[in-house]
Structure 1
Amino acid sequence: MSDLATGARCLGKGQGWVARNGRWYGFGLIPAAIALVLYLAALVALGVYAGDIAQWATPFADDWGAAWRTALRVSVGVVLFAGGLLLAVLTFTAVTLLIGDPFYEKLSEKVEEDEGGCPAGPDRPLWRELWTSACDSLYVLMWALVFAIPLFLLGFVPFVGQTVVPVVGLCVSGFFLTVELASVAMQRRGLPVRERMRVLRRRKALVLGFGVPLAAAFLVPFVAVLLMPGAVAGATLLARDVLGEGTRPRPAPGAGTAAPGPYGPATAPYGPQVAAPHGPGGPGGRPGPYA
């Protein structure tokens, strides 16, 4: 199966998982609904005042003919709102994950338990987890803006701005959306944000197969809220695939063998020397790269 199809399959499996686990689905809706209300209020305010902002930003057009002045300011208002919408798409997941950190952490853990094993996360207080998540999200947003700002400006170019730019913008949004969602599972393994992005860049097709259809769906009002719990579940499955873990069968009762660790007995993604996701741990083990 191609990476594109595998990414889409992870997205579908995540939505299927929450559909089978209705209690966890309702649990995951709460932070997404809160974030949606905040974003809708901001976008409505931007839409109401876009004309005033466009007029303030184009004082040089005051002496133009009425038709040209109106055309310019309407165009500026539309671009401003489109930019606000793009920014909303890029940041919605980060804000929702920040609001719902404890919710989505528990949901992701449950998905991993069902898949054959959940690594123990770092023992840190909640405030520090939230601070780390906020800093990581700002880092991802910074890189997203590196791509989004040029695309925003290219949106003014005739034909290109109406054809190529939306497609590229959707791919950019899908990639960074996946980075944010996969962070829930990857942060549990102690991977710093730069390493997460490096690992996901190696599997761009997989990431785009997951992120592009999700980013497109998130453009539809209210759909982001409905899909968010399944998106977290699917990104957890994607993270396991990227890190070489996948789904492992549990040992049969009474088999007398210990259950495999979070990276498996001999197929850890960073080599068999990693005895535990955090710290040296395990007989004869050496500290892993993120110890």
Structure 2
Amino acid sequence: MTHVEHPRRDGVVSEFFAGVRTLLGGFGWWRVRPGLMLLGLVPAAVVSLVLAAALVTLGFWIAPLAETLTPFANGWDAPWPFVVRIAAGTAVFGAALLLSATLFTALTLLIGEPFYDRIWRGVEAAEAPDEPLDTDGGFWAGIADAASLILRGILAAIIAFAVGLIPFVGGALGAITGILLSGWILADELSGRALTVRGIDHRARRRMLRAHRARAFGFGVATQLCFLIPLGAVLTMPAAVVGATRLARDVRPPASATPGAATSST
């Protein structure tokens, strides 16, 4: 098995902020291809409206839901039932908020495939015109990627929910845990297409990201935080596609090593 190894040129903090800059640089494509980027807002806006309605509905039911989840606290002395139910309600809503970011990405990429396909192809054509790409894809491949992303998002939300149940500090710890996990998932998923078209499979792709873990976290966490801002997901999605295409080039080994990385898991 060939391992993807890269000398660490910068410290972890520098690499993390390099990942953040990769996302921020994606917004620069609004100047390069404004019409194409504008198209990328359409599927993002549709999915965002649906998920926002679901979160608002959850917000109305969060108090009775928290009470239902904590029947064991009914006989406790005050203020412990209130404390436990606040923790449970915060954990549920926080997990739902984090899961919504993953659902947003999966559904938006699936529905908006023709738009985002044009965006990443435009980036490749402008910045790596000579690289051979296997651009054959398919509807079912998109379905499989969306299902995988949703399942991983559900697992991350469950972990964040469990951490969030810790009284007093659970809300903050759960949020941090969820953002880190979701950020990693987003970095992996969004950069996947630009690596797959170069013949790099899932396992090799994740080895490459692990070799540049801080940079991938920087990109993913920045994207996740933007997604949590009202309307941020809609405005960020086209830029995230651009940034992820560049991230894929950043984490790839030298051209001579790429074939070995792609086949090492077979």
Using the size of structure 1 for normalisation, the TM-score is 0.75
* 1:109 aligned onto 2:121: yes
* 1:169 aligned onto 2:178: yes
Q: Is the 8 A contact 1:18 1:233 kept in 2?
A: no
Counterparts of 1:47-196 in structure 2 under 5 Å? 47-60=59-72, 69=81, 72-117=84-129, 119-124=132-137, 129-196=138-205
Identity over aligned pairs, percent: 38
Once residues 213 and 88 of structure 2 are traced to their aligned partners in structure 1, the CA distance between those partners, rounded to angstroms, is: 34
Unaligned runs of 5+ in 1: 246-266, 278-287
- Bigger shift: residues 158-167 or 97-106: 158-167
Q: Is the 8 A contact 2:102 2:149 kept in 1?
A: no
Structure possessing the higher radius of gyration over alpha carbons: 1
Q: Is the 8 A contact 1:105 1:184 kept in 2?
A: no
Once residues 230 and 48 of structure 2 are traced to their aligned partners in structure 1, the CA distance between those partners, rounded to angstroms, is: 9
Q: Is the 8 A contact 1:32 1:225 kept in 2?
A: yes
The aligned amino acid for 2:190 is: L
Once residues 53 and 69 of structure 2 are traced to their aligned partners in structure 1, the CA distance between those partners, rounded to angstroms, is: 23
Per the alignment, residue 238 of structure 1 pairs with: 247
SS at match of 1:123: coil
Please report how far the alpha carbon of residue 84 of structure 1 lies from its aligned counterpart in structure 2 after TM superposition: 0.8
SS at match of 2:106: helix
Aligned length: 253
Please report how far the alpha carbon of residue 15 of structure 1 lies from its aligned counterpart in structure 2 after TM superposition: 1.2
The aligned amino acid for 2:245 is: T
Please report how far the alpha carbon of residue 171 of structure 1 lies from its aligned counterpart in structure 2 after TM superposition: 1.9
- Given candidates 233, 246, 270, the residue that maps to 2:258 is 270
Shift in CA distance, 190/94, structure 1 to aligned 2, threshold 3 Å: farther
Once residues 144 and 3 of structure 1 are traced to their aligned partners in structure 2, the CA distance between those partners, rounded to angstroms, is: 25
The aligned amino acid for 1:76 is: A
Per the alignment, residue 41 of structure 1 pairs with: 53
Unaligned runs of 5+ in 2: 1-9
Once residues 122 and 78 of structure 2 are traced to their aligned partners in structure 1, the CA distance between those partners, rounded to angstroms, is: 61
Using the size of structure 2 for normalisation, the TM-score is 0.81
Per the alignment, residue 262 of structure 1 pairs with: none
The structure with higher relative contact order (CA 8 Å, sep 6+) is 2
